[in-house]
Structure 1
């Protein structure tokens, strides 16, 4: 251990895949949290032979610039000494380079709280390849430090490259995607093969290889029936060979005699040239060929047609216009006078451009029985040495999939031939068609030379045109994308991302409501589920990246409002590449101590990801009252729209007014003797929007949190281009009813008491909710004929820190006379009753310090706690239920209402009075709590 480690290993503590912008990078990336252990003491300059061994295995690393900014910069770092986490990053990138993925995005950062632990981040194009590259990179680094007998890098690299080949798009799909990316059209892979969505929402188009969402299914069926295709083309006067369909070998022989030899036998509905046998001269040859063709036919039907002599040309027609022409030369080898035919095949297959199937631009030549027989017909055996420059065919058809090559002839074709090919594609009805010509020379009219159209293909391959063996490549993906997205056609839907600690769900709903009034089909994600055009598609916590992708794939959506939670960003990043508008409501202590987020500054850094995802022509709507949110302006590439609750003359308002004088936008409050007015400011213009007390969601202006949410929603709608009168109308018609805003300040009347249902679950939210209770009671107290008591039901999520849970109790005790403590259904790894006990500790600490609360009960089950809170209320009292399952609670409240209206309440269910003997109330509540606690413990034990 004095000079080198003997057993140290780089260990992966955690692996994450970010599928969009994230806290580390602007694009998709793999994140490895690695622990160097004792290797922290051994940078590369202290590992004898490490650098040379690494460069021997991956010479491409010498091209990496690293932080030096010039070729060979990374090698310099290796020689000078760098840590192995940094090495693993570069190895993972180089492995992807070996697989043909040109990537240079990567970084390695140490964990300040844990020496020897590093965050290794590197980009990827294909997720599976990126993950595999990271795994192999770590294994290679460890192998070079301490060699083992069970690791062969050559074998491992070969397996990795095979994986990359299997997951890679074929040349046709890749060409279309590359063209789409060059036009800033987003794309999403929908399966493990070649089904891809281009664009978003209502603008989305789909492709599968070269078949598009605009390809008519009927045209594909017609093209798949070769006999029907020939009949339709022939009836239109286009040159086609004579053809007959048969089901038996005898029928094929009879048809061949009727057509006249030589003939071709092919499967009626085959593809890629499989089962096609050419130039058959006798009935016996036809009978022998029949089973080979029938084997490749899905329906067992074979077509016999006249053999047209000449060269094989593929004309690619896109959108009714000729895009490219290639001459296809069958698989063959050229003699050199030295090597046998078998050796020449091996030499040809060694070409790096050749692969298996369609994975590369050329296909390896397969030597099967048909190839051997064809060679024999040319007077050779496979072990024969053909004369120099003599061509020996190994296939009769010129299909690329059987090992053929292509020669570009795009600008050589005679105009008559081009017109015939275009007309054939239009007759069949294909938007993208491959027209196969057989003729002596494409430069001469086929009607004069005796050529014909032998096939019309749906979903034709592009690689013979994009990567011709001889000639210039044709950029044929451009007309395909032009077909799907004509000039000026949009491919993206506007995306508004909303984040923050509190208020993001209500802000999202307000904005969606405004845009709905404009006739937009809004797709929205939130903690309550996924909604499209106000229809609930999925009921779940849908504030993560997967839900965002579901909305953007929905073909009805033309405007997306996405609630973005901290957890989703940390887990997978964003579910898209950028958002047009980012809204940040506030940053407050919640979820701290989870996933490495311990401070408000770290939490703000996570939520700022949506601000960093704003393009130059986008907007960030930021809460100027929150210093952490205000600082996010430095991370925004677009325009900032400020919103503030601060009055004129305050420091924040002076800041905003100064920005507006320079042309900025803002949404602020302007007080007057008639109330507060929401005002939109742009430059020196001030545009009144609405009185806060006239907005139903603010309950006469007392719900200050909803005033702030309205400011944020108005700013986002203004940035999205909504007219002022539509923004005003949207805010005036948005209410906190269960239909528009489930679980967010929903008001119902139960037994003549006012009951509010809200999702409040953290101390900052409780303070905002408590301020509403103060203002609302103060507003009502003058008209009440008795003192209004305040009854609250609260509960804390079990995954919060103990101090945060106690703080929730302290905050609640400040605003309510009576508190009922409950727990969520999901205890989040806590024992039943533990979270409620922590809340009670906070409540009693506050009560000891003189807080408003006078009584506290623990009723763990939410519905039982709801019943208890309602039973305690007198007519006119206010009950605030902070719930977990709002639907169940609202249903229970509805049951109470129906019972009251039907007169079904028993004496035992008469409402109580918190001002009565506290001992009586405490005894009843504790009995209910004990019974409920025993029931939940039994359930947990089961």
Structure 2
């Protein structure tokens, strides 16, 4: 094998956290280059398939495209390519970590030997590491066919990976599994999440530990392990103070052992004498059984146990209490009701007459159900000094062989965290004991409580047989109930989720997603305006930032998945409107699972040549992701006048709602005849009327000239945005009168829609500030400019049109030329500027390409007569206004809208001050 000639390399790794261009769910995307292996499918690689299957026998279960177990192995034998192998190995590695996942695909990027490898994941860290290890394993197993006579098992290169480092799969796999266990949720958290997911409750992990948000926005609840949003902090404090808990329970008439709280060792001995031996010594506020010593029969044993209990106490207090004999039971109470009972048996081994105690512990720990801490359903037994002393007290040494059937205890406390086991006793407990446990949870005030009972037999009333409550636990572990060592598992997470989300309550908030090449921000603002007028607390993301209930809380380009998740985390939001841009979808996916309404305005050439999207058809597939994320009870609002958008109807699981500027669209007519919905434009003597059609019903919404955003109906792109917003609002449940009111109150002012068709006047010159950066937007803006002076009488000299034009540097050269050419069709004067961020271009390069297009338009008979370049945006703004006369129109295509607006206001104030001074003189 030659590691340089025969190696798979990862060019890029992306993590999609929601529906995306390649998959309906979260996925890892590896761009891999298989190099010379493009000429060598697996059937030509000596020993590769056999060795791979030996290391990962679970690959036999992979169906691949064959639809039956063993399908992928058949593909290996017949010959498949290394990228495809990486996909299946990554999936299988995740499965060895307990993450069952079967979604995956491998597709060529179009470049020779370079593939997109996409596969699902449950935990993004585990998924990403699985891909890296899969590539290393494939590289390790590949043998150069020329060396087939030198090696027969795939180890011709001295067992080295692609980096030239020695590679031992068993060691690397063990490290991968350890990492997987470390980042995984504990059994209790996972049980609650499994129940939540079964009810279609969305969730987000809020930290690297077990803090999780269930639900969205105002409907959210949070959990941390088994503590919840409704868990009382005061109740947790009470439960943490064992002495106070005992006093409260005793005052309620519940059976508890006598106890005393001390800080000094001799005080502990005196308390033990007063209570009466045997006693228990434990930290006042400890947990997991740490520092607990039981069945202490004299002062010396109390002194010996005191130190460890004191060390485990956070506040330096130790509790001495009467020792209750009997079995150890944990009663789980949720919402005031008992839901499960488990008998806990301390860590122990049972002699077989052959193995020593040490060997028996090793055999017991070999149980795959046992792990470190709480990572698995059982915890490994740890042989501590205390365990050795306990074994010795029972008459054995660790290297001795106990008789067959002899039980040897390795811990006195029955905690699962110290290696104990559990036996389900849920349906055996006496009703009186259940009542006592439920009353104890109510006295302490916990919504989820673990009541520790010690009594001879849980099936008999504890008040008659002796025993009592020795502890009340906040955040009790679930694994002894969900995965008992003996008995039937109890589904204890169900009542927890019932407590957080009672039947009939919602865990989600409505989500409207808006995408398209142009108009996304304006349409999103219109929808948000409609629902804000209804009284909703709207969370909106756009290229301008994140707005919560009308207040801009973050100013940045917030049209990506991270911003969407931030809105869904906000506990005030009860309605979400997301502007969804192409870049965010390609970078991370949607960032949420589904949207109730998807709005697609248009698809036109823009941002092509970036991230593998080279054609407008591919761009349409990217924007189609929000349509694919519509559930069966949701809606997709689609532009019937755009062929690429109209084709997305096939990808929608819910209903399709059309909007169209064309008055006689046959597709819409047929759609509505079948009971469908559409928003259309009817032209009449009084003007253009926006009409909502639902089956045979025709509901007039508003004349376009009455909507401020349309500039008396001249801005047809905003007419289209208003129609899409009205359709989306109707689908989301807004009443018609509120839709009308919202659209009529939405103005394109800088303060309501900064950077989107903001009209102002400077020294009698009309100035429009708009974020126009691509050819389709320039064509729409130019159409508006052509209509702007329709009201000017023909006898009056036509006003001048001045355009300050620019685009982002990451567009293609031809796109920049086309932008200049389109601008040349509509403006008399063009001033070309550049954005502050050049995005990889040299200063003046972008402007030169735009100017080239404008001069081509000039030479071809376009409207433009004067062209100049002023690179700085503020300087270009001043130049545009300075060249205008009163009554002229200046259109500023801006990047930094706030700075440009401020410059315009300052320019106007200076002019006013100068005029006032002249008047005085």
Alignment of 1:240-255 (within 5 A): 240-255=256-271
| Partner residue of 2:711 out of 679, 694, 699 | 699
Q: Secondary structure at the match of 1:869?
A: helix
Q: Provide the rounded CA distance (Å) in 2 between the counterparts of 1:333 and 1:905.
A: 99
Q: Provide the rounded CA distance (Å) in 2 between the counterparts of 1:28 and 1:874.
A: 56
Alignment of 1:193-272 (within 5 A): 193-272=209-288
1:595 matches 2:607: no
Alignment of 1:754-833 (within 5 A): 754-779=766-791, 781-782=792-793, 786-833=797-844
| Partner residue of 2:655 out of 634, 639, 649 | 639
Contact 2:765 2:888 (8 Å CA) reproduced: yes
Q: 1:865-890 CA deviation, whole Å, 9 max, x = no partner?
A: 11111112222211111100101111
Shift of 1:48: 2.1
Q: Which residue of 1 aligns with 2:912?
A: 901
Q: Rate the CA distance shift 1:578–1:784 in 2: closer, same or farther, 3 A.
A: farther
Q: 1:556-577 CA deviation, whole Å, 9 max, x = no partner?
A: 1111110110011111111101
Contact 2:714 2:787 (8 Å CA) reproduced: yes
Contact 1:244 1:304 (8 Å CA) reproduced: yes
Contact 2:5 2:35 (8 Å CA) reproduced: no
Alignment of 1:456-467 (within 5 A): 456-467=472-483
Q: Which residue of 1 aligns with 2:31?
A: 33
Q: Rate the CA distance shift 1:569–1:54 in 2: closer, same or farther, 3 A.
A: same
Contact 1:5 1:42 (8 Å CA) reproduced: no
1:844 matches 2:855: yes
Range with bigger deviation, 383-392 or 176-185: 383-392
1:447 matches 2:444: no
Shift of 1:7: 3.7
Q: 1:538-593 CA deviation, whole Å, 9 max, x = no partner?
A: 10000111111111111111111101100111111111011111100001111011
Q: Which residue of 1 aligns with 2:509?
A: 493
Alignment of 1:541-940 (within 5 A): 541-648=557-664, 653-779=665-791, 781-782=792-793, 786-903=797-914
Q: Which residue of 2 aligns with 1:913?
A: none
| Partner residue of 2:186 out of 170, 177, 182 | 170
Shift of 1:6: 8.9
Alignment of 1:24-173 (within 5 A): 24-111=22-109, 113-146=110-143, 147=155, 148-149=159-160, 150-173=166-189
If the length of structure 1 is used for normalisation, what is the TM-score? 0.94
Alignment of 1:331-410 (within 5 A): 331-410=347-426
Q: Rate the CA distance shift 1:594–1:7 in 2: closer, same or farther, 3 A.
A: closer
1:320 matches 2:336: yes
Q: Secondary structure at the match of 1:778?
A: coil
Q: Secondary structure at the match of 2:789?
A: helix
Q: Which structure 2 residue ranges, 5 or more long, are not aligned?
A: 144-154, 161-165
Aligned-residue CA RMSD (Å): 1.4
| Partner residue of 1:412 out of 409, 414, 428 | 428
Shift of 1:185: 0.3
Contact 1:189 1:195 (8 Å CA) reproduced: yes
Contact 1:334 1:391 (8 Å CA) reproduced: yes
Shift of 1:236: 0.9
Q: Provide the rounded CA distance (Å) in 2 between the counterparts of 1:874 and 1:6.
A: 68
Range with bigger deviation, 734-743 or 623-632: 734-743
Q: 1:518-556 CA deviation, whole Å, 9 max, x = no partner?
A: 111111100000011111111000011111111111111
Q: Provide the rounded CA distance (Å) in 1 between the counterparts of 2:692 and 2:638.
A: 14
Q: Provide the rounded CA distance (Å) in 2 between the counterparts of 1:18 and 1:772.
A: 39
Contact 1:5 1:38 (8 Å CA) reproduced: no
Contact 2:330 2:341 (8 Å CA) reproduced: yes
Contact 1:899 1:905 (8 Å CA) reproduced: no
Q: Which residue of 1 aligns with 2:450?
A: 434
Contact 1:318 1:431 (8 Å CA) reproduced: yes
Q: Provide the rounded CA distance (Å) in 2 between the counterparts of 1:144 and 1:643.
A: 56
Contact 1:84 1:141 (8 Å CA) reproduced: yes
Q: Rate the CA distance shift 1:904–1:360 in 2: closer, same or farther, 3 A.
A: farther
Q: Which structure 1 residue ranges, 5 or more long, are not aligned?
A: 908-942
Q: 1:220-253 CA deviation, whole Å, 9 max, x = no partner?
A: 1110000111111111111111111111101111
If the length of structure 2 is used for normalisation, what is the TM-score? 0.96
Shift of 1:219: 0.5
Q: Provide the rounded CA distance (Å) in 2 between the counterparts of 1:905 and 1:168.
A: 72
Contact 1:758 1:882 (8 Å CA) reproduced: yes
Q: Provide the rounded CA distance (Å) in 2 between the counterparts of 1:331 and 1:595.
A: 56
Q: Rate the CA distance shift 1:348–1:820 in 2: closer, same or farther, 3 A.
A: same
Q: 1:63-94 CA deviation, whole Å, 9 max, x = no partner?
A: 11111111111111111111111111111111
Contact 1:543 1:564 (8 Å CA) reproduced: yes
Q: Provide the rounded CA distance (Å) in 1 between the counterparts of 2:403 and 2:595.
A: 65
Shift of 1:899: 2.3
Range with bigger deviation, 892-901 or 46-55: 892-901
Q: Rate the CA distance shift 1:6–1:209 in 2: closer, same or farther, 3 A.
A: closer
Q: Secondary structure at the match of 1:401?
A: helix
Q: Rate the CA distance shift 1:424–1:835 in 2: closer, same or farther, 3 A.
A: same
Q: Provide the rounded CA distance (Å) in 2 between the counterparts of 1:427 and 1:876.
A: 79
| Partner residue of 2:489 out of 461, 473, 494 | 473
Q: 1:278-302 CA deviation, whole Å, 9 max, x = no partner?
A: 0111111111111010011111110
Q: Provide the rounded CA distance (Å) in 2 between the counterparts of 1:787 and 1:45.
A: 76
Contact 1:328 1:405 (8 Å CA) reproduced: yes
Contact 1:619 1:638 (8 Å CA) reproduced: yes
Contact 1:197 1:206 (8 Å CA) reproduced: yes
Equivalenced residues, count: 899
Q: Provide the rounded CA distance (Å) in 1 between the counterparts of 2:240 and 2:3.
A: 65
Q: Which residue of 2 aligns with 1:935?
A: none
Q: Provide the rounded CA distance (Å) in 2 between the counterparts of 1:223 and 1:734.
A: 55
Shift of 1:786: 4.4
Q: Secondary structure at the match of 1:903?
A: helix
Q: Provide the rounded CA distance (Å) in 2 between the counterparts of 1:815 and 1:476.
A: 69
Contact 1:821 1:860 (8 Å CA) reproduced: yes
Shift of 1:365: 0.5
Q: Secondary structure at the match of 1:122?
A: strand
Q: Provide the rounded CA distance (Å) in 1 between the counterparts of 2:38 and 2:827.
A: 55
Shift of 1:647: 2.4
